[in-house]
Copies of this chain bind each other. A is one copy, B any other.
């Protein structure tokens, strides 16, 4: 509660922006814990953010928004004119330029590129052609390379001359190129310490290990698992040096995949939603997934409609239908998560159906027995009719088995069909298990109708 009595940093910032006090604005932003920058920026009005950009200049504004999440950076760039956006994008490292522009609509990105210096725009255009999580998509183009004819002294001199400019790169390696820009070797900085300056670099460099520009995220992960490097050169099919992929970029891309999976299983498709986005946009995005779901739900519930007479005769069954639907969903989703996890870790391949059936069948049977027994007992205790317990308990037992086995299989099938398991597994699973579950309860009940009423 004390928090609401204090003046919030964004309110204070808005006052300072209105007063045009750029000194104080800088001081305030400097004092803000870096974890608060994103929230503070997001709570300013759009006008105030634009005023802030004018006050700070594009370089300082760029370094302010660079650490923010992709979704927030995109949002902040989108609200600017193409010219303003270009001035900021220019200040970002090459890989992030491509990230930000790749997230925008094509025309918007083109407009921003149009306002950037021609050479830089060209580099970024080329980076934009690589798939986001490929070697080319993750690489940075800020690196040091020297011709094979250079001497150690040339390299050291260049580094001394440009120490300020290289500071931000946090240089770890120098790359040595031969004819046509082909990667010829790698020098660790520490190798340079141990040799005479008159030696040619070609005599001290190591043979290069490189990542292909088309390498998939998995391959890069394995590369860095196998080698202790903090970065690796990226080459094209001809061995020409194109950029550098850092270990941390690969690890970060893998982490982002995990976040995407979480958002997708929660029914948030495509990109991140932030609450600073317009209401209509947020509502529409969520609705695209919900409206598909309601159709599937109506389809599943049609099984109940088919058995209305049974239900009318034993109205108590209506109490158990949502329970069976929800519990089968829960059991099945656990198996979905294990399959998605094992697919990610490479512990199961999409065609290994039989293995999953065996492994999930055993768990599904055990947990079906326990849950069926629990629900059956609850039914008997409530209505004093042992047959009611038998019907709902048996139905839940079989449906748990079905849900767990299907939950294990669906992600494999979707992956085999080149679809995203995180997005579609849930809706497919719950529709099928609802239908089967409703059918099991109501058909069992129909058969035993005389014993239930």
Question: Given A189-B190, A255-B252, A327–B293 Cβ distance below 8 Å?
Answer: yes
Instruction: Enumerate A260-290 residues with CB–CB distance to B below 8 Å.
Output: 261-263, 265-268, 272-276, 279-280, 282-283, 286-287, 289-290
Contacts of A254 in B (CB 8 A): 255
Report the minimum CB–CB distance from A51 to chain B (whole Å): 21
The answer to whether B294 touches A323, judged by C-beta atoms less than 8 angstroms apart, is yes
The answer to whether B170 touches A286, judged by C-beta atoms less than 8 angstroms apart, is no
Instruction: Tally chain A residues at the interface, Cβ within 8 Å.
Output: 126
A163 at the interface (CB under 8 A from B): yes
- Closest B residue by C-beta to A277: B359
Instruction: Enumerate A195-230 residues with CB–CB distance to B below 8 Å.
Output: 218-219, 221-222, 225-226, 228-230
The answer to whether B333 touches A267, judged by C-beta atoms less than 8 angstroms apart, is yes
- Closest B residue by C-beta to A152: B193
Spell out A's residues near B (CB within 8 Å). 1, 3, 33-36, 38-39, 42, 66-67, 69, 72, 156, 159-160, 163, 166-172, 189-190, 192-194, 218-219, 221-222, 225-226, 228-230, 246-248, 251-252, 254-256, 258-259, 261-263, 265-268, 272-276, 279-280, 282-283, 286-287, 289-291, 293-294, 297-298, 300-302, 304-305, 308, 311-312, 315-316, 318-323, 325-327, 329-331, 333-334, 336-338, 340-342, 345-349, 351, 355-356, 359-360, 362-363, 366-367, 370-371, 374-375, 378, 382, 430, 434, 438
Please measure, in the bound complex, the distance between the C-alpha atom of A1 and the C-alpha atom of B354, giving whole angstroms. 12
Q: List 8 A-B contacts (CB under 8 A).
A: A38-B345, A170-B229, A193-B193, A263-B337, A266-B337, A275-B338, A308-B319, A326-B434
Contacts of A363 in B (CB 8 A): 279, 282-283, 286
Report the minimum CB–CB distance from A297 to chain B (whole Å): 4
The answer to whether A226 touches B34, judged by C-beta atoms less than 8 angstroms apart, is yes
Q: Among the listed B67, B193, B267, B275, which residue makes an inter-chain contact with A342, where contact means beta carbons less than 8 Å apart? A: B275
Please measure, in the bound complex, the distance between the C-alpha atom of A163 and the C-alpha atom of B360, giving whole angstroms. 50
Contacts of A272 in B (CB 8 A): 341
Contacts of A327 in B (CB 8 A): 290, 293-294, 297
The answer to whether A374 touches B338, judged by C-beta atoms less than 8 angstroms apart, is no
